[in-house]
Chains A and B, each alone.
Chain A
Amino acid sequence: MTDPTARGASPELIGKVTHYLHQGFSALAHGRRELPPALGDARWTPELILATWYMAETGQVPTGGLEYRVGRSGGGFDRLDFELLPEPAANTSAMAAEDTSIALNRRGSGAEITIPVPFYGGGMSYGSVSEQVMLARAIAAARWSTYMCTGEGGYPEALVPYKDNIITQVATGLFGVEERTIQYAPIVEFKYAQGAKPGLGGHLLGDKSTTAVAKMRGSVPWVSLFSPFPFHSVYSVEDHKKHVDWIKTINPRALISVKVSTPADVDMVAVGSYYAGAHILHLDGAYGGTGAAPEIAKKNIAMPIELAVPKVHKHLVKEGIRDRVTLMASGGIRTAWDIAKIIALGADGAVLATTELVALGCTRCSNCERGRGCTFGLTTTDPELKEWLQPEWGAARLDNLFRAIQGELRAILRRLGLRSVRDLRGRTDLLRYRPAETGEVA
């Protein structure tokens, strides 16, 4: 097979399929009473998925009663709520909009980077998702002056025009890590572990290692690709510092983000990373990951992000370095409410990945590890399926999603009497427990 796109779908077929897909997303998002019977799960409930689709279409949170704030997992974010001011007291429409921006570099030297929303896109590799998905995310990130991350699978040429809004990842397999791509990146993310499968490395099963993916990664087509669980050159914090210094030599301007999972001693890891030069500590909790992460690992190894963030936040405060580093959280953050809650628990911001996929049409069917498993053309590089998603259409969906999240974040801040999302950080006093609802998973 020489050119994988050559035998992709015909324009007619693409037009037909996408027409019906888009119609389906729209119809479902607006039809509250007809929840599809097999959609979603307790964390990502059918309502949350449909609400995300609604936001991706309209740029607003649903108004028709669709639950868009919490899922029904019975724990974590789903049991937390804010002590909100009563609606009338919060009516401050005459005032300037609440500030939702956060700074990514607080070390006092190097590039000052502020993003207007307290979130950016997490790493999903070329191979785990299609180039079209990456492109959609990159376009949206550029429009919002925030970021998306390449993950570990190479840097498709089509992304280069958006390089100023793309974080590139240095992960344990070093797939696609080149001086060129490191030098493109305003932020380089060291991925030590993924919360969905800490200690298990990365997996791209043979099915998805298509000719195009193998070409990008320099591997053999149709052979499963594993990133090792450790960096073979990093077995201690001093090795890590050297590792960071290496990347800084290649790109002295780049901010350094260190993505780690949430082991029991995550606080120590965070402090070590800071002293080794990290600008951003990215904690990835147990609830992230696509369907490709092994079921047994997800939720069973790493600590939930809702526990890890306050632990690290408090420790950083104790060490006197909390205001020198940006703490980003990921791993099961789905909604504007989750973002607000994790910030109240001590993070500066959140990293979104699954939410973006859902906005693009993901139904959480958990078939991501298969080459032709994603009927929505997201977690695939199949020459035909990948065509189901057009980057511009996807970018528009993400654009809308981001607007809806920002709007809702402002509304939350307003009802907390806060002017800036930065003021929300660590305000656990504003949180309360939500009573469990009937039918929730206890």
Chain B
Amino acid sequence: MPPRTNLPAKLERARRRLWQDAGDLRLDTSPAAEGGCGVVGLACDVPVAGRHLMHALAQMRNRGNGKGGGVAMVGLDAAQLGTTPRVLREDYLLGIAYLDAGVRAEVERRFLEPVFEIDDARELAPAVSGHAALGLEVRPPDVVLYWARPRAAAIERFLAGGDLAEGDFPDRRALEDELVYQSSFRLNRELYAGERGNLAYVQCHAKDLLVLKMVGYAEDVVRFYGLEDMTAHVWIGHHRYPTKGKVWHPGGAHPFVGLNEALVHNGDFANYQSICDYLAQRQIRPLFMTDTEVAALVFDLHRRTYGYPLEYVIESLAPTTERDFAVLPAAKQEVYRALQTTHIHGSPDGPWFFIIAESGRDAWRLIGVTDTSMLRPQVFAVQRGAANIAFCASEKQVIDAVLESLAAADPRFWGRPDRYWVARGGSHTDGGAFVFTLRQRPEGGRELVVTDKFGAAVASPTGGDTATLAFPNGGSGFAWRSGGRRSRDCRHSPQVANGSGSKKPAAAGLPKSMARRSATPEAYDRSTLRASDRSDAPGPFPARSATQETGPFPPLTQVLAALRRWSWQQASSFLDELALEARVPGREVAVLELLTLLLDRRYDPGRLRRSRWLSRLDACLAGVLADLERRPTPAFQVHAGPAGGAAGQPRPDAADQTIVLDARRYAIEGEGSAANELVALYRHGWRRFLVANTRGHRFLGCGFGPATEGVRIDVYGSFGDYLASGGDGIELHAHGDAQDQVAQIWKSGLLVVHGDVGQAFGYGAKGGEAYVLGSAAGRPMINAVGSPRVVINGTCLDYLAESFMAGDPLKGGGFVILNGVGFDSRGRLRELDNPYPGSNLFSLASGGALYIRDPFGRLEASQLNGGEFAELGKADWDLIRPYLEKNEAWFGIPVSALLAVDGVECRPAEVYRKVRPVKLRALQAEEAWVGHRG
């Protein structure tokens, strides 16, 4: 691209005319207040139909209020839209929303025909009869799509003003882009923001980019315009939650467009006015009066007018600060400093998360950017196989819902992504922004490339077969008994059923050495497997009654050893056999224990893709639980659901019987929610709960009240926010990744999370024990007091244990152990690059301690603000070792492996560092007085 140093200045001058010629505007100068929002975006190398977003969006209604919903689509299908591929590719798609159908002729006569050659047009007729049928308060706009090319004469007129010449633009397309931008601006100014009132506006005006929005929820948009079967490669769905103004307007809904991009937003800016001023200095004015609009305008300014690469645009939006800036290379610092100096007033300040769909010349993109403080929830995910798809969304459960829908319709997808992750804006590691690029392959089709802000590829586990086909059941070949493979007949024989009650399953014949023999040489791996085999390790799901066998069946080690060799056909057959095994009376607990361990643990999936294997396990678990509903056992009762009514509330046959709740029968929150049902069942005498099939269900484990020791809850699926927030005695096992606000005000009891936890984990906790297999997002254990004792095996994004006040850990106070380890795709423990990459650690803490595994001394004093490093003493090690041992029992992460560095066992003090509060305070007058008196 040739240099165009004078173009921005010239464009500014030209755009000034847009205002000078304008009549009075009838703008409400106070911007609409945005609250939170719910967003989901995806980019996929194969077309995705709108129907797959429906469930996800419906599930996320609690993040909107029905006052604004919208979708953006890039990579459309010409035939579905009734045009030709060439027109779709080469023409600008002008989506014009008519709030007053009467102005259509005028729009076409005055704004379209003089400027554009219209190659195609289509009215987007409502798919439902009348908006009231969908419960919509406000009639959605009539949308007409025009495929248009700027007329040569119009371009001539455009350049005739003298401000701009064709040579100022890098190419003809850039010139045409600006013409389209100015043309739409004129239309919006006169027919939306002008004295005549809200009559019509341009919803989108790029090539192959469609935006539709209304007053309602995003899935209403899909339904109303009949997008269920319409496909795109990039989708964004957005629920809005505006809080001001009685009359909401489609024009205020997201997405907003700059030119080649559509932007949605969750959060709000404290500096809306500053950004408006910044834009005004560059001759750009908002017309729709929401902070989201100005964000879209800033993005377009940087991207199109200034021609910045994405990295710089992102830096300008979410500047790198503090320690993150300090550790950047000098050359990058120089550029970033210049960007910040120039554009800080256009940088949104406050909690926000943007998802941007871009129909670029070179590629289609989906971009997710988080604010520097990471104050809005966001989750990214990717799944790669015969089709490749990447997501960013407000909540993990939304991603899961889209994948579930896709998997049900298309064998190229399955229910779990290969990887989920969260990010912190402005971080030096990844920038907190991710770009999903769909590049044109030379041989046709699209390639999905996932990169971070710096352009570095984001890895996800891609090994292993993803098995897109169904298999004939040829048997797994698994040695169900030490004597060899059992026939089906044998499995159902009475002897087996009788024998199962008294005999420990196959343990005697289990080749314990198998694990070691077949293990890879890595010390971690070997000991991980050994840990799973510990006879004193608690079962993952000790819901068994006296008549039940103990321990998972078949033993985990045996299954893992076999799994390494299995083909999909064998693995799939094994699960079928396992489901049958669960029907053997008394065997179901052991089978569920095995399934749970297979879901929870990290191990080598052999020839299989882990995520796909987990999806199969999900299905197997669902099948076993469905079987249990048909055949209740002494150990389990499956609850019929709310249909049973209060009178039909079951009671336990025995104190340790587990009640199984299918979360899909319950609301996500509020009345009729699974969370409330758990409490009601508790009051009916139940103490053991298995909650399956969650899909964003919130507040699970909340409301049980004090003195609830003896209550155990196991949660499976895609559970939502505020899990176990308020526990005072309960034991909760979360079999998967937990979301935001887990274990707030946690007071006592046990929480085990077999995955990551989200924002504000343990905020205001008072006590209790918590174990997290993975990492925590921002602000874990903030403002915690008393005696919480927490093990986090991964890392945290930032602000770990800020304002921690948990006494003296050596005298009963609280602490957090941070291990800084993760797993590779073969289930082997790996050191993370840095146990804690954030800038703020133990800030303003006055009590408690952190024990951080940092064998390479990567933590710096500059990360502390109110804490100091201290040697790990014997008393410290004696204190934390029991917790690490329990951590080993829950997750199979051996203490010995944690103490090993590069395969060499070290002393605890060589591996763990203690962080304690700085003794800054002077003796308080009051304390002195009391001390004196005492």
Contact = CB atoms under 8 A, between A and B. Distances in A.
Interface of A: 1, 4, 7, 172-175, 177-180, 182-183, 206-208, 210-211, 217-228, 232-233, 235-239, 241-242, 245-246, 248-252, 265, 267-269, 271-272, 275, 318-320, 370-372, 382-383
Given A7-B933, A174-B764, A220 B779 contact: no
Contacts of A208: 926
Given A238-B35, A246-B702, A319-B246, A383 B803 contact: no
Given A232-B779, A236-B267, A174 B925 contact: no
B797 interface: no
A180 to B, nearest CB: 4
B698 A242 contact: yes
Nearest to B748: A178
A180 B766 CA distance: 13
A174 B246 contact: no
A222 B926 contact: yes
B699 A235 contact: no
B69 interface: no
Interface stretch (B205-213, B328-336, B781-789): B781-789
A257 to B, nearest CB: 18
A207 B926 CA distance: 5
B763 interface: yes
B170 interface: no
A172 B764 CA distance: 9
Interface-centre pick from A172, A227, A238 (highest chain B CB count, 10 A):
A238
Contact of A220 (B699, B725, B846): B846
A237 B35 contact: yes
Contact of A218 (B63, B785, B803, B917): B785
B921 interface: yes
A178 B805 contact: no
Contact of B698 (A179, A227, A245): A245
A437 B726 CA distance: 55
Interface in B313-353: 351
A379 to B, nearest CB: 13
B785 A178 contact: no
Given A180-B705, A236-B351, A371 B925 contact: yes
A250 B65 CA distance: 23
Given A1-B934, A207-B924, A228 B745 contact: no
B670 interface: yes
Nearest to A179: B726
A275 B740 CA distance: 22
A250 B700 CA distance: 10
Contact of B36 (A174, A239, A250): A239
B33 A268 contact: yes
Contacts of A177: 745, 764
A7 B785 contact: no
B266 interface: yes
A174 B744 contact: yes
B36 A178 contact: no
A371 B783 CA distance: 23
A232 B805 contact: no
B243 A272 contact: yes
B725 A246 contact: yes
B747 A219 contact: no
B728 A250 contact: no
Contacts of A246: 698-699, 702, 722, 725-726, 741, 744
B676 A179 contact: no
B844 A226 contact: yes
Interface string B769-803: 00000000001001101110000000000000001
B673 interface: yes
Contact of A236 (B268, B785, B847): B268
B783 A242 contact: no
A241 to B, nearest CB: 7
Nearest to B64: A238
> Which DSSP category, helix, strand, loop or mixed, fits chain B's interface?
loop
Nearest to B787: A218
A226 to B, nearest CB: 7
Contacts of B744: 174, 233, 246
B817 interface: no
Contacts of A222: 921, 923-924, 926-927
Nearest to B929: A372
A179 B745 contact: yes
11 contacts: A7-B930, A178-B745, A178-B766, A179-B703, A179-B727, A207-B927, A235-B376, A236-B268, A237-B243, A241-B62, A242-B62
Contacts of A242: 62, 669, 698, 721-722, 741
Given A173-B764, A237-B35, A228 B676 contact: no
Contact of B759 (A7, A178, A233): A233
B807 interface: yes
A249 B702 CA distance: 7
B930 A179 contact: no
Nearest to A219: B805
Contacts of B766: 178, 218
Contacts, number: 200
Contacts of A175: 764, 785
B929 to A, nearest CB: 7
A227 B702 CA distance: 23
A272 B246 CA distance: 12
A233 B740 contact: yes
A175 B745 CA distance: 9
A272 B803 CA distance: 29
A223 B268 contact: no
Contacts of A265: 33, 244
The residue in A208, A224, A236 that gathers the most chain B C-beta atoms within 10 A of its C-beta is: A236
Nearest to A7: B933
A200 to B, nearest CB: 14
Query: Considering residues B38, B64, B704, B846, which has the most beta carbons from chain A within 10 angstroms of its beta carbon?
Result: B846
B911 interface: no
Contacts of A252: 676, 703
Contact of B924 (A206, A225, A239, A318): A206
A267 B246 CA distance: 12
A284 B600 CA distance: 48
Contact of A268 (B63, B243, B706, B745): B243
Contacts of A227: 783
B375 interface: yes
A218 B786 contact: yes
A250, A265, A319, A383 — most chain B CB neighbours (10 Å): A250
A228 B764 CA distance: 11
A51 to B, nearest CB: 33
B99 to A, nearest CB: 22
Nearest to A382: B926
B927 A250 contact: no
A107 to B, nearest CB: 14
B709 to A, nearest CB: 13
Nearest to B926: A371
A318 B376 CA distance: 31
B682 to A, nearest CB: 12
B556 interface: no
A223 B846 contact: yes
A249 B926 contact: no
A37 B65 CA distance: 57
A202 B62 CA distance: 30
B369 interface: no
Given A179-B706, A220-B846, A222-B926, A232 B760 contact: yes
B675 interface: yes
B37 interface: yes
Contacts of B779: 232
B803 A226 contact: yes
Contacts of B34: 236
Contact of B38 (A1, A180, A226, A238): A238
B806 interface: yes
Most chain B C-beta atoms within 10 Å of own C-beta, residue among A183, A218, A223, A268: A218
Most chain B CB inside 10 Å of its own CB: which residue of A1, A179, A207, A252: A179
A272 B244 CA distance: 8
